[in-house]
Structure 1
Amino acid sequence: METNIKKFLRNSFISVISICVIVFIGLVLIMGKRTSDTIDEISEIYLSEMNIQLQQKFSTVIELRLDQIEGIVRRTPPESAVYGEEMLQDIAFSGEVREFDFLALCSEDGKMENIYGHEMDVYDPESILSSLDSDGNIVAMGINGAGERMLILGKEAAYPMENGEESAALLAGVPMDYLKEALFLDSGETLIYSHIIDAEGNFVIRSGNAYRESYFDRIISEVQDNRRGGAETYVQELQSAIEKGEAYSKLVSINGEKRYTYCTPIAENVDWYLVTVMNSEAMDTPISSLDVQRIIIMIASSIMILVAMSVMFIKYFKFSIKQMEELNRARNKAIQSDKAKSEFLSSMSHDIRTPMNAIIGMTEIALKNIRDPERVVDCLNKVKLSSKHLLGLINDVLDMSKIESGKMTLNMNQMSLREAMDDIVNIMQPQVKSKNQYFDIFIQSIQTENVLCDSVRLNQVLLNLLSNATKFTPEEGRIDVHLYQEESPQGEEYVRTHFIVEDTGIGMSEEFQRKIFDSFERENSDQVAKIMGTGLGMSITKAIVDLMKGTIELKSEQNKGSRFHIVLDLKKSEIDEKDMVLPHWDVLVVDDNEQLCTSAVANLQELGVHTEWSLDGRQAIRMIEDRHLQNNDYDFVLVDWKMPHMNGIEVIREMRNVTQGKKVPAFLISAYDWSELEEDVEESEIEGFISKPLFKSTLYLYLRKYMEGITYEEDEEEEIDFEGKHILLAEDIDVNWEFISEILGSVGLVLERAINGKECLEKFDASEIGFYDAILMDIRMPVMNGYDATVAIRKLERSDNGLPIIAMTADAFSDDAQHCLEVGMDAHIAKPIDLKECMRTLQKYLGQGESE
């Protein structure tokens, strides 16, 4: 076997070397071609930028000189000038000051009257007049009597001339060498130089070693590149580009040297062209040097790769052994994971069978006692309770499945923290009451009550924590929720929101705290074993908090309790909260919990109310009595219900005795249900009941109706009545149809059934306009599903195709609800149906009133 391994290594090594050599040769050829192409591209870009800079310099120089001529005209205005020695001297003085070598007046027929300087012979006199007609400026080339090339510039000016005519323009001239120096066109020994030529190819300015009068003649005589037709083709292409006013570039060979040539118009109103030439050495030499360096680097890299491969082959066996060890560890971990899941399934089997046993058993008992209404109602209530527990188990398993597959998503919407806390109080009251536990919510430093969040998932997190707290806290134990806000490090649009859930329960061991957020984990203790649960709640909670980009921390000690701290950066709602201000009332707050008391006081003070507070009922009575004796009674008194020594009801009754005939409005405040108090207190004794937590908006809502001159109608619960409303229900399951039709028929709805999406579509299409008020649409149906049926209904050419379509389906995840909205549905109701939520949704889209 060792021989086979050596043979394998030798052959592999030779193969790697061969592949490296082939790849290396191929890379050299490819990179050589890419280098050549890159040099051409870079050269063209570089020459283009050179020309742009020269064009800008040319325009700047010409504009400067034209402005100087304009200055001469302004100094000696033509309209007030009188021909004579004085006028000519004045103009000449201005020209000499501006260092013009030549100055003359030009008539409309092109005749020039020299003011000073050599006589000028203009190459193209007609171009002067045509340029003057177009923009009032003159840029031309001429040659003076001394044989010197001159740049002729002019401005429109009507001066009197010697022959009695009026001039058309004032001309000034400077040597072409001036322009050449200004543009740096001839900077000595350089690999880059530029010429300026006219449309016929004649040199306006030449640099480098150019010696002919025509650039075209020079190209024809010197270009040795015979590709694509040689010099004549190059000249023809260049002439064509000049006629079209386009840029032109080409690589040519002049006197054995390769040169990049780039030609562009030098300015818009001047028929001259800038030709920039660069010796190929300017680019070839440095890039070729880089190419050599690249090849050296590639060779070195290949050697390093070969060395690395050799080392890799030598250490192959060591890595193999290590991999086998890791595979064994992974195998053991997988076995443990399978064992954990098996234990979970065993636990789930027990937890699912427990409520199922109750459902089946209570159903049998109800059937045997069908003539005993009380017994039947008791059995049905227990069936309902067990069904809810079973549904909770199923939801936990499905949530965990979505988390493990990475498909859990958030459905962001506006939510009110006040309403969320109210919902939590309402949900937790029965559980807390059943175990006679103390439950309070503390709020503090609330910057904004309305935020953007997945309210369903946030409630799920808080209720998971509170449900565990009630399960694992003994009777008469304490459960508290703390909510406060602070500035968010993510900016002004966000607010950092803290949720703390703490209890005085059985706590957790340090070992279990390290794995509490793992899936399928429950603490193994006698206390926990007696309490039903899947071990999924905390892993789901952690996953949701992570999805919200928040953090969750746990502190716990056995037999002392647990504390969960969640931190979320929530985006503030864009909806402005209404300005809440109350009169400058005097209000007394009485609560034995100092934190709750100070929180309520702070919120009342933000509303503009003067507030005093007390932690003891007896002290509060003394404060009320002192105020009454001073004839300065409190405007309102807010008293906590459950306090030691003297509860809230006793405080209010004693207050009535102290204040005698004067009734001070008093409110009971508590996190418990008002129905528990109704038997203990008469309605006349108190002004009302305010549920904790005491948000600013909650206090404002209850106290605003006492503001002078302002009345608010109390919200009255309306009886649900949809008499005469026609509903088309798409439902393929008979028992679901029976249940839904019975429930919805009891509130006056007239239902018609379609057994699949296709029949629903056909029935709606065949109905009269406006006959149906809404459609309740199942999703998973044969023939045509609910999604396709909704899309088809929305496409019908009917005036009522926009009627409410509400999904009523067992596809209950948030992304299922989102997909329903995307295909055109208006709302989503999950099965099993929550009747209260169902009625709220129907009220929203159907309203209440007479049938059509």
Structure 2
Amino acid sequence: MAKNVRKFLWISLICILVLCIGVFVWITAYMIDENDRTISDVGEIYMSEMGKQISMHFATVMELYQSKLRGVTGSNPQEEADGADTAAEELAASAAVFGFNYLGLYSGNGSYEDVLGGEIVVDGEEAFTAALKSGEAKITDAKNKDGETLLLIGMPAAYPMGNGEISTLLIAGVPMETVNETLSLEIGATQVYSHIIRHDGTYVIRNADAAESSYFDRIVDYGNFDGQSPEEVVGKISEAMAAGAEYSMVIEINGEIRNTHFIPLKDSDWYLVSVLPYGLLQGPTTRLLYQRIYVAIGGCMVIVLAMLLAYIRYFRMSRQQMRLLEIAKKEAESASRAKSAFLSSMSHDIRTPMNAIMGMTAIAAANLDNPAKLQDCLKKITLSSKHLLGLINDVLDMSKIESGKLSLNMDLLSLRETMDSITNIVQPQIKAKKQNFDIFIGTIQTEHVYCDGVRLNQIFLNLLSNAVKFTPEGGTIEVRLAQENSPKGACYVRNDIRVMDTGIGMSPEFQKSIFNSFTREDTSRVRKTEGTGLGMAITKYIIDEMGGSIELRSEVDRGTEFHIILDLERGADQEKDMFLPDWELLVVDDDELLCRTAVAALGEIGVDADCAFDGKTAVEMTIRRHRERRDYQIVLLDWKMPGMDGIETAKEIRKCVGKEIPILLISAYDWSEIEEEARAAGINGFISKPLFKSTLFYGLAPFSEYYRAEYEQDREEADDYTGRRILLAEDNEINWEIVNTLLSAHGFVIEWTKNGNECVERYEASPPGYYDAVLMDVRMPVMDGYEAAKQIRESGRTDCGIPIIAMTADAFTEDIRRCLESGMDAHIAKPIDIRELLKILKKHLRKK
């Protein structure tokens, strides 16, 4: 059976091959014959269209010359002509300006006077002048005294002539050679050229190798026609010209076949003869013909081979499909593992702030009798809660990040508060690994910029989280921030951010792919470290969306540095004028850069400060000033210094100068860890790094009598919201209890409705002005918040403009936009930040 199949296939293949050869031999002969006819047809079409184009160009050129002739008369109005001599001079000057080589006048009785260019002999003068006098547009040619051929045009004009008559026509001429160049009738790169002839065949313009005085003589002398005599062809051409019709033919002259086309020219008795050498079309079309033949033969062979391969392919198809299914399975498993790894990493990242929240809650519960400690714990719980909320938002927004639709919410933020928040979040991780951490602040032009705060936190936390993971115990992690002028203009500031560590570093190969999604270095050094490989890709995406850049420098076992540049819009400085008394301070820090930048920042707020780079020098400087009775007003000590640390330095200073000089500890670490020991050593307080100008100001201001009194006055002048009524639409009882508790503590009276419909009914049943504001949840049963807000706005009441504030867990940019479009005044996201809510209420509540 298999043998019969093979025999059948071979016989079929031979028969198909023979049939293909026979068919293609016949097709080849037929195509060669058709190729010649096609060349003639294409040549005729081409020459016809080209002739029409040249004819239209000729008409356009003639209209241009007529326009120029009108320009000559326009420059010399006939009614202002002042004598024959003057008129002739002015006309001649104008004609030369407009490019005419000849100008003459004709009177009504046939008198002629040349104005420019001398005497000429006009071809068909009577017919030419008669046509012009009758108002027709007419052109002809003439010979000047030098034998040069001119193209003549004319128009009616009345100018005084030298013989005392008044002219009826103004005739102008240009060299026929100029016309030839303008129309590009000579042989060019395409080898196509043209003649202009009269009805009798004589040349007006002659090009190429034509030596005869008549084109018809050239045909008769050299023409060779298939089945026709030259005289018969000349007769047909003459008949077509007499009828004003187009005519095409193929002629062989001197062994060269040429496509020739005749077309009449407007406003003349002339014909345009365009010539295309047959070889220009024959060569490409013949090559195309043989290419098609070769391709067809090749195609036949391909078809035969395809038939053979089809049978083989059929048997292999199932095996290949199984392989593809196996590959798809592995890809799906890989994607599943990547997603699982991502969720594992997110679990780790979520647990970090959760650990801080739970730990600070436990500490707060153990220190209920210590208000300062309790306040510090609550502050850190709030910061960690915000970070946790940011992570949750990132998870919910992941699909948008992957699809390239990440949206940024550029709002005003404080870099000082951002860096404080980052410091508090990463401190527990750094403490657990016993690493050294510091933040250095360089020159800062403005602490307030417009940026997406959540995304900026995400950038810092991604980088610092990696630094903590891949830096061993005892290693160092640093963050440096400085500002300079931005190339984007005075409204922007360039933020130079560096995150550095002394960790395990990266290989050069991995550095090339670190910003790719789900990418991790597959070495024994990092296998035990959890991570998705997604953080750096997201970081790069966010920075790109902000219009910034990120660069990486790393060496294996030497550490890593990420350098970020962000040009951010400057924000208005929200801090009041910061200026301290002209104190003299001592700043002690083993990092020279930090010490000098702190001194510079103190100088900007009016304080003169000295530097010391170790504890021993600080003690010596303090003792020397004390002996000179020029004690420092305040001493700022870094906690972690080699040799003598901040606490030991404070003890030595107290031994020599007593307790009068305030000593403050500066550190990026948690003050609560060392507060008891620091107080015992004589340290009066703590200033947390990073040392922004405002950080130093608010840390030192309490030691000034002026600002101490001002702070006490500010605390006494709190906003009073007693009796202000708020209508709350919220379907969740726990949320109602939280809002009621938080706002009632500030004097607000809260009335609760459980859905949008109840909210509208309660509002409409109240007298105008009864409620001061409406807090509106968005997702509620019966009627949602969007519809409720619209109905309140459309109620027609005098207080329909009551402030309506969206209070919802729908926190994305499009959700905020939809709330505002439905008529709400502002938006606040759950979980509620009471400070933010009070700020919004203060902004929108009417004064009473």
Does the Cα contact within 8 Å between 2:605 and 2:697 map onto a contact in 1? Answer: yes
Query: How far apart, in 2, do the equivalents of 1:263 and 1:612 lie?
Result: 101
Unaligned runs of 5+ in 1: 133-137, 198-202, 212-217, 226-230, 236-250, 364-373
Could you tell me how far 1:740 is from its partner in structure 2? 2.7
The one-character-per-residue Cα deviations of 1:668-721 (angstroms, maximum 9, x if unpaired) are 644357889999999xx9999754223467668989999xxx9x9879567454
| 1:573 to 2:569 alignment | yes
Given the superposition, is the C-alpha separation of residues 314 and 719 from structure 1 closer, same or farther in structure 2, using an over 3 Å criterion? farther
- In structure 1, the residue matched to 2:690 is 693
Kindly report which structure 2 residues correspond to 1:208-247, keeping only aligned pairs within 5 A, or say none: none
Query: How far apart, in 2, do the equivalents of 1:222 and 1:63 lie?
Result: 34
Given the superposition, is the C-alpha separation of residues 600 and 296 from structure 1 closer, same or farther in structure 2, using an over 3 Å criterion? farther
Question: Residue type of the partner of 2:690?
Answer: P
Query: How far apart, in 1, do the equivalents of 2:53 and 2:651 lie?
Result: 90
- In structure 2, the residue matched to 1:246 is none
Given the superposition, is the C-alpha separation of residues 320 and 255 from structure 1 closer, same or farther in structure 2, using an over 3 Å criterion? closer
| 1:395 to 2:392 alignment | yes
Question: Residue type of the partner of 1:640?
Answer: D
Query: How far apart, in 1, do the equivalents of 2:629 and 2:205 lie?
Result: 108
| 1:744 to 2:743 alignment | yes
The one-character-per-residue Cα deviations of 1:794-821 (angstroms, maximum 9, x if unpaired) are 7888897776554333334566556656
- In structure 2, the residue matched to 1:597 is 595
Question: Residue type of the partner of 2:173?
Answer: G
Query: How far apart, in 2, do the equivalents of 1:748 and 1:278 lie?
Result: 101
- In structure 2, the residue matched to 1:299 is 296
- In structure 2, the residue matched to 1:459 is 457
Kindly report which structure 2 residues correspond to 1:166-315, keeping only aligned pairs within 5 A, or say none: 171-174=171-174, 176=176, 179-180=179-180, 183-185=183-185, 191=192, 193=194, 285=282, 288-289=285-286, 292=289, 295-296=292-293, 299=296, 302=299, 306=303, 309=306, 310-311=308-309, 314=312
Given the superposition, is the C-alpha separation of residues 748 and 521 from structure 1 closer, same or farther in structure 2, using an over 3 Å criterion? farther
Query: How far apart, in 1, do the equivalents of 2:104 and 2:9 lie?
Result: 92
Query: How far apart, in 2, do the equivalents of 1:108 and 1:39 lie?
Result: 49
The one-character-per-residue Cα deviations of 1:211-262 (angstroms, maximum 9, x if unpaired) are 9xxxxxx9x987999xxxxx99x98xxxxxxxxxxxxxxx986789998999
**836, 839, 842: which is aligned to 1:840?**
836
Query: How far apart, in 2, do the equivalents of 1:699 and 1:66 lie?
Result: 86
Query: How far apart, in 2, do the equivalents of 1:100 and 1:340 lie?
Result: 84
Could you tell me how far 1:591 is from its partner in structure 2? 0.9
Does the Cα contact within 8 Å between 2:197 and 2:215 map onto a contact in 1? Answer: no
Kindly report which structure 2 residues correspond to 1:29-428, keeping only aligned pairs within 5 A, or say none: 83=85, 103-105=103-105, 112-114=112-114, 116-118=118-120, 121=125, 151-152=151-152, 161-162=161-162, 164=164, 171-174=171-174, 176=176, 179-180=179-180, 183-185=183-185, 191=192, 193=194, 285=282, 288-289=285-286, 292=289, 295-296=292-293, 299=296, 302=299, 306=303, 309=306, 310-311=308-309, 314=312, 321=319, 324-325=322-323, 327-328=325-326, 331=329, 395=392, 398-399=395-396, 402=399, 406=403, 409-413=406-410, 415=413, 417-427=415-425
Query: How far apart, in 2, do the equivalents of 1:476 and 1:422 lie?
Result: 23
Moved more, 745-754 or 535-544: 535-544
Query: How far apart, in 1, do the equivalents of 2:312 and 2:161 lie?
Result: 101
The one-character-per-residue Cα deviations of 1:101-139 (angstroms, maximum 9, x if unpaired) are 85434679997544552576476769979999xxxxx99
Could you tell me how far 1:566 is from its partner in structure 2? 4.2
Query: How far apart, in 1, do the equivalents of 2:804 and 2:12 lie?
Result: 68
Given the superposition, is the C-alpha separation of residues 349 and 58 from structure 1 closer, same or farther in structure 2, using an over 3 Å criterion? closer
Could you tell me how far 1:456 is from its partner in structure 2? 0.5
Could you tell me how far 1:459 is from its partner in structure 2? 1.1
Kindly report which structure 2 residues correspond to 1:548-587, keeping only aligned pairs within 5 A, or say none: 548-549=543-544, 565-573=561-569
Given the superposition, is the C-alpha separation of residues 306 and 755 from structure 1 closer, same or farther in structure 2, using an over 3 Å criterion? farther
Does the Cα contact within 8 Å between 1:61 and 1:182 map onto a contact in 2? Answer: no
Unaligned runs of 5+ in 2: 25-29, 208-213, 217-232, 252-257, 362-370, 545-549
Does the Cα contact within 8 Å between 1:589 and 1:612 map onto a contact in 2? Answer: yes
Given the superposition, is the C-alpha separation of residues 690 and 482 from structure 1 closer, same or farther in structure 2, using an over 3 Å criterion? same
| 1:441 to 2:436 alignment | no
Does the Cα contact within 8 Å between 2:586 and 2:636 map onto a contact in 1? Answer: yes
Structure-1-length-normalised TM-score: 0.59
- In structure 2, the residue matched to 1:214 is none
Q: Secondary structure of the equivalent of 1:808?
A: strand
Could you tell me how far 1:615 is from its partner in structure 2? 1.0
- In structure 2, the residue matched to 1:615 is 613
Could you tell me how far 1:494 is from its partner in structure 2? 9.8
Given the superposition, is the C-alpha separation of residues 400 and 541 from structure 1 closer, same or farther in structure 2, using an over 3 Å criterion? farther
The one-character-per-residue Cα deviations of 1:491-542 (angstroms, maximum 9, x if unpaired) are 99996854426489xx9999xx99999989999x9xx99xxx9x66874565
Query: How far apart, in 1, do the equivalents of 2:687 and 2:263 lie?
Result: 86
Query: How far apart, in 1, do the equivalents of 2:68 and 2:659 lie?
Result: 99
Query: How far apart, in 2, do the equivalents of 1:52 and 1:300 lie?
Result: 46
Given the superposition, is the C-alpha separation of residues 477 and 12 from structure 1 closer, same or farther in structure 2, using an over 3 Å criterion? farther
Query: How far apart, in 2, do the equivalents of 1:95 and 1:342 lie?
Result: 90
Kindly report which structure 2 residues correspond to 1:478-627, keeping only aligned pairs within 5 A, or say none: 480-483=478-481, 497-500=496-499, 502=501, 539-540=534-535, 542-549=537-544, 565-573=561-569, 589-600=587-598, 613-623=611-621
- In structure 2, the residue matched to 1:248 is none
Given the superposition, is the C-alpha separation of residues 779 and 44 from structure 1 closer, same or farther in structure 2, using an over 3 Å criterion? farther
Does the Cα contact within 8 Å between 1:621 and 1:655 map onto a contact in 2? Answer: no
Does the Cα contact within 8 Å between 2:584 and 2:634 map onto a contact in 1? Answer: yes
Does the Cα contact within 8 Å between 2:619 and 2:652 map onto a contact in 1? Answer: no
Query: How far apart, in 2, do the equivalents of 1:336 and 1:95 lie?
Result: 86
Question: Residue type of the partner of 2:668?
Answer: A
Count of residues paired in the alignment = 764
| 1:731 to 2:730 alignment | yes
Could you tell me how far 1:774 is from its partner in structure 2? 4.5
Query: How far apart, in 2, do the equivalents of 1:262 and 1:42 lie?
Result: 13
Does the Cα contact within 8 Å between 1:757 and 1:784 map onto a contact in 2? Answer: yes
Given the superposition, is the C-alpha separation of residues 416 and 451 from structure 1 closer, same or farther in structure 2, using an over 3 Å criterion? same
Given the superposition, is the C-alpha separation of residues 69 and 332 from structure 1 closer, same or farther in structure 2, using an over 3 Å criterion? closer
Does the Cα contact within 8 Å between 1:499 and 1:566 map onto a contact in 2? Answer: yes
The one-character-per-residue Cα deviations of 1:329-379 (angstroms, maximum 9, x if unpaired) are 6546766877898999999999999999xx99xx9xxxxxxxxxx9xx99x
Does the Cα contact within 8 Å between 1:582 and 1:607 map onto a contact in 2? Answer: yes
Given the superposition, is the C-alpha separation of residues 263 and 124 from structure 1 closer, same or farther in structure 2, using an over 3 Å criterion? closer
Does the Cα contact within 8 Å between 1:224 and 1:255 map onto a contact in 2? Answer: no
Could you tell me how far 1:477 is from its partner in structure 2? 8.7
Does the Cα contact within 8 Å between 1:806 and 1:826 map onto a contact in 2? Answer: yes
Query: How far apart, in 1, do the equivalents of 2:690 and 2:750 lie?
Result: 42
Among all aligned residue pairs of Structure 1 and Structure 2, give the percentage whose two residues are the same amino acid.
35
Question: Residue type of the partner of 1:292?
Answer: L
The one-character-per-residue Cα deviations of 1:454-498 (angstroms, maximum 9, x if unpaired) are 420331343466578889999999764344689999999996854
Query: How far apart, in 2, do the equivalents of 1:771 and 1:205 lie?
Result: 101
Does the Cα contact within 8 Å between 1:808 and 1:828 map onto a contact in 2? Answer: yes
Q: Secondary structure of the equivalent of 1:573?
A: strand
Query: How far apart, in 1, do the equivalents of 2:631 and 2:269 lie?
Result: 98
Given the superposition, is the C-alpha separation of residues 804 and 401 from structure 1 closer, same or farther in structure 2, using an over 3 Å criterion? same
Does the Cα contact within 8 Å between 1:452 and 1:570 map onto a contact in 2? Answer: no
Over aligned residue pairs, what C-alpha RMSD do you find?
A: 7.9
Query: How far apart, in 2, do the equivalents of 1:355 and 1:638 lie?
Result: 31
- In structure 2, the residue matched to 1:200 is none
